Structure 1
Amino acid sequence: MRSQMSAGLLAVLLGFSGAALSAVQPSEAARLGKELTPVGAERSGNASGVIPEWQGGLKQPPQDWEPGTVERDPFPEDEPLFVITRDNMDLYKGKLTDGHRRMLEKYGPDFFMPIYQTRRTAAFPDIVYRKSMENARTAELLENGNGVRNTIMTSPFPIPQSGLEVIWNHILRYRGQEVAFRSASATPQVDGAYNPVVNDYEYFFAYSKKGAELQDIDNKIFYLKTNTVAPSTLAGTITLVHETLDQVRSPRLAWRYDAGSRRLRRSPNLAYETDLPNSSSLRSVDQKDMYNGAPNQYNWTLKGKREIYVPYNAYRLHDPDVRPADVIRPQHINQALTRYELHRVWVVEATLRTGISHIYSRRVFYVDEDSWQILVSEEYDEAGKLWRVSEAHNISYYSEPVFWTTMEMTYDLKAGRYYIDGLDEGFAPYDFSPGFRSTEFSASAARRAARR
């Protein structure tokens, strides 16, 4: 841990000279798969024993789970160890984010945090572990940190030396090779009234395909196509995204098909602080997936690693019998369905660069050491006041060993409203092997699909 943080502090002090930053020393990389897990987490538990030793993650699904069905809770007998409320939160302030403290203050007693036994379930395929350890020896940040090289498939920097490397680990973490699913989002009113927007998602992760080489993926991380199914006023809207690895050299490509005009148009502004479509201006585009896109608007500082209560193993929210009406409540979701656990997280602070315009002047990210998934983030306004708090509720999927979100939300503390994505209205489980080809994600293919 000391050697990890020493390297991180050195990178912060040195800053970026304009040249690529080199990979870690071989002696450091050799720790992976030993005292560090293959993705760079501390294998051992914490001093108190609350955080257990990592033993490979969730290796087997529950015996009653059948392939082709939605994941079930592997820990149905677990009960909360205790509940953090507005009244007792000072007892736990060292293990709470500033965002959660503010949520407890503002929305308690209805907003509370049930704390469960810590279970380190994050697991990935063996090939991902091998690539992670290879990346540690070769991966480098490009000039000014706007891209990476000599890396493939998964997070480039399992032993991060800077905050920017941690964010790239999140951006490039393994989420499968391809996936198709249906999901609903909503922006409930203050009284809890909502109208869901239902989308079909199709991802093709070029960067993570088995056998892929960086020089062969045309600077693409993934291709994404969404098709709006409901409400009827939006049905037929198609969005196509080509997510690029170096978005400063080659910006994200995006197109949008509006069923009303029956035309597929380029969407050059689908990035950074632009409002996320159908979010009622409660979330910016770069908050999708907790953070995405080019990191060039911020200075990134690695603040260290902390033990924090974070959302984890959200199988109750993922339960196929749980419907949007069970989840949505005024001002925040139904906290009785949530699960928080104590985990070690990397803390990264992003401060807006001089001369850059963005609605968020400062952001703080809490990144899971076992998966490189951002679990919680805080967004501050131009005056430096906490404005929004975002959560990612995650599970380990069964048909493909992936630790990924099942539900995300951004709470707007000023508006008293929130944006939520991942609502399930009885949809089919995620399909991690739909058989996509990259050619299906071209603009011409999207145009043909729209006209059918």
Structure 2
Amino acid sequence: MRSPIVAGVAAVLLGLSGQALSKVTAAEAQRLGADLTPVGAERGANASGTIPEWTGGLTQPPAGWRKGQVEANPFPQDEALFVITADNLDLYRDRLSDGHIAMLEKYGPDFFMPVYRTRRTAAFPEHVYGKSRENAVTAELLDNGNGVRNTIMTSPFPIPANGLEVIWNHILRYRGEEIRFRSSSATPQVDGSFNPVVNDYSYFFAYSQKGAELAEIDNKIFYLKTDTIAPSSLAGTITLVHETLDQVRSPRLAWRYDAGSRRLRRSPNLAYETDLPNSSSLRSVDQKDMYNGAPNQYDWELKGKRELFVPYNAYKLHGPTVKPEDVIRAGHINQELARYELHRVWVVEARRRTGIGHIYDRRVFYVDEDSWQILASEEYDAEGNLWRVSEAHNISYYSEPVFWTTMEMTYDLKAARYYVDGLDDGFPAYDFNPGFRDSEFTASSARRAARR
């Protein structure tokens, strides 16, 4: 039987290198909805009360908000309790990740961390909670941890026993059944100047469809199509991705349509350490969504839980009137728009396997206990030096109960530059019910769309 989950796990739990783990017992699963939340977080407050009890999350939008509008800030009265700076970081060092300490030391006093009251807003639909309980007693890792079985809709392992299970919880967390939105990305120069790239995103989450069965979804997690709108030099570029569950058995399928050549081509290298398109080589493909793809290039170690100041409830960054020029600054985003809170996070360390050529030798991920969303990460080079620091600023959406990113960024400490995605410029609200079908995400469908 697995040991109970407690804050500050002392034992080091290793990622798998061979056979699948057994699922939890029915008795253990009964903790979900009792001392654990339905997704596996500790329900209770911490000892000091600075992290409150989870009481269901944010399930009602603020008064006056209407479906179709960009999410309004549900906590407009909140003010920062204190601000962490390079001058006072020693007071808070035990509640800071190494990445945030490095950012404060490198960019202070311009980089600071305003800390607000902790609000455990993460919430999901009731049918997702039901699947979480079912997954707990059925889900298993495949051999070598390259996939999962006997699971559907949401995170497979609400009571995780190792680092791989935590990472799969992030990869397979519930993000709705489908979504369409427009956002901009940018790679500001050292002086803060930038040229945004605007994309339309369309997701169809095959794994999370109501009534879906694992055997029926053709090894697919989701289908993604991006259509570049601006600048004019890139407009018309289409990327199509079929994200597979076991990427070793059936690798990710990807195609790219270049408006200049007017041809749709397979992109077999759109994975792992490949440069993320339009990122100026500041981010790898597997850093999209903080981490994606097959976990087979690393050995994963669960270090336990920590209470850390992490990005959370980023409604100021998400606001309908916030423009890219309000967000972007030299070296990092405008920290006056950021919000940090004290939360319990799972800490997972990934070490590159012998013989693997990935640019990151070691990576550390900080995973929200309430949502399985990676909130922050650190990326180290082959010499063991901290190279990049990544953040995910998240909100709870209203039209579909989902806790997900609104903005992500990767800071390159060597280049003193960064990549940011999720910039809004008067764009419509995220549409969680666009009415997609999986047949709209075939290569032939993308080819037809490109020619229109």
The residue number in structure 1 matching 2:164 is 164
Matched, 1:55 2:43: no
1:12 offset after TM fit, Å?
3.1
1:4 offset after TM fit, Å?
2.5
2:52 touches 2:120 (CA, 8 Å); kept in 1?
A: yes
Q: Hey, what's the Cα distance between the residues in 2 that align with 1:269 and 1:137? A: 36
The residue number in structure 2 matching 1:42 is 42
2:12 touches 2:304 (CA, 8 Å); kept in 1?
A: no
Q: Hey, what's the Cα distance between the residues in 2 that align with 1:379 and 1:121? A: 28
Q: CA offsets per residue over residues 25-71 of structure 1, 9 Å max, x none?
A: 22211100100000000000100101000000001000111111000
The residue number in structure 1 matching 2:126 is 126
Q: Hey, what's the Cα distance between the residues in 2 that align with 1:390 and 1:59? A: 28
Alignment of 1:145-294 (within 5 A): 145-294=145-294
Q: Hey, what's the Cα distance between the residues in 2 that align with 1:22 and 1:250? A: 24
2:13 touches 2:303 (CA, 8 Å); kept in 1?
A: no
1:361 touches 1:381 (CA, 8 Å); kept in 2?
A: yes
The residue number in structure 2 matching 1:12 is 13
1:303 offset after TM fit, Å?
0.2
The residue number in structure 2 matching 1:67 is 67
What secondary structure is seen at the aligned counterpart in 1 of 2:207? helix
The residue number in structure 2 matching 1:358 is 358
1:19 offset after TM fit, Å?
2.2
2:116 touches 2:341 (CA, 8 Å); kept in 1?
A: yes
1:11 offset after TM fit, Å?
8.4
Q: Hey, what's the Cα distance between the residues in 1 that align with 2:140 and 2:346? A: 20
What secondary structure is seen at the aligned counterpart in 2 of 1:3? coil
Q: Hey, what's the Cα distance between the residues in 1 that align with 2:31 and 2:242? A: 35
The residue number in structure 2 matching 1:390 is 390
Q: 1:105 to 1:9 in 2, by over 3 A?
A: closer
What secondary structure is seen at the aligned counterpart in 2 of 1:411? strand
The residue number in structure 1 matching 2:305 is 305
The residue number in structure 1 matching 2:443 is 443
Q: Hey, what's the Cα distance between the residues in 2 that align with 1:17 and 1:125? A: 34
Q: 1:17 to 1:200 in 2, by over 3 A?
A: closer
1:86 touches 1:112 (CA, 8 Å); kept in 2?
A: yes
1:5 offset after TM fit, Å?
6.0
What secondary structure is seen at the aligned counterpart in 1 of 2:200? strand
**Residues matched between the structures, number:** 450
2:156 touches 2:169 (CA, 8 Å); kept in 1?
A: yes
What secondary structure is seen at the aligned counterpart in 1 of 2:302? strand
State the one-letter code of the partner of 1:3: P
Q: CA offsets per residue over residues 301-326 of structure 1, 9 Å max, x none?
A: 00000000000000000001010000
Q: CA offsets per residue over residues 263-301 of structure 1, 9 Å max, x none?
A: 000000000000000000000000000000000000000
Q: Hey, what's the Cα distance between the residues in 1 that align with 2:204 and 2:210? A: 12
1:396 touches 1:404 (CA, 8 Å); kept in 2?
A: yes
1:359 touches 1:382 (CA, 8 Å); kept in 2?
A: yes
2:308 touches 2:345 (CA, 8 Å); kept in 1?
A: yes
Q: Normalising by the residue count of structure 1, what TM-score does the alignment of the two structures yield?
A: 0.98
The residue number in structure 1 matching 2:330 is 330
Q: Hey, what's the Cα distance between the residues in 2 that align with 1:243 and 1:221? A: 5
Alignment of 1:17-32 (within 5 A): 18-32=18-32
State the one-letter code of the partner of 1:287: Q
1:24 offset after TM fit, Å?
1.2
Q: Hey, what's the Cα distance between the residues in 2 that align with 1:177 and 1:105? A: 41
Q: 1:11 to 1:132 in 2, by over 3 A?
A: farther
The residue number in structure 2 matching 1:419 is 419
2:274 touches 2:285 (CA, 8 Å); kept in 1?
A: yes
Q: Hey, what's the Cα distance between the residues in 2 that align with 1:16 and 1:205? A: 27
In structure 2, the gaps of 5 or more residues are: none
Q: Hey, what's the Cα distance between the residues in 2 that align with 1:229 and 1:280? A: 18
Q: Hey, what's the Cα distance between the residues in 2 that align with 1:437 and 1:429? A: 21
Q: Hey, what's the Cα distance between the residues in 1 that align with 2:424 and 2:208? A: 27
1:81 offset after TM fit, Å?
0.2
2:302 touches 2:348 (CA, 8 Å); kept in 1?
A: yes
Q: Normalising by the residue count of structure 2, what TM-score does the alignment of the two structures yield?
A: 0.98
1:309 touches 1:340 (CA, 8 Å); kept in 2?
A: yes
Percent identical residues: 79
1:223 touches 1:243 (CA, 8 Å); kept in 2?
A: yes
1:9 touches 1:162 (CA, 8 Å); kept in 2?
A: no
1:11 touches 1:161 (CA, 8 Å); kept in 2?
A: no
1:9 touches 1:161 (CA, 8 Å); kept in 2?
A: no
1:2 offset after TM fit, Å?
6.0
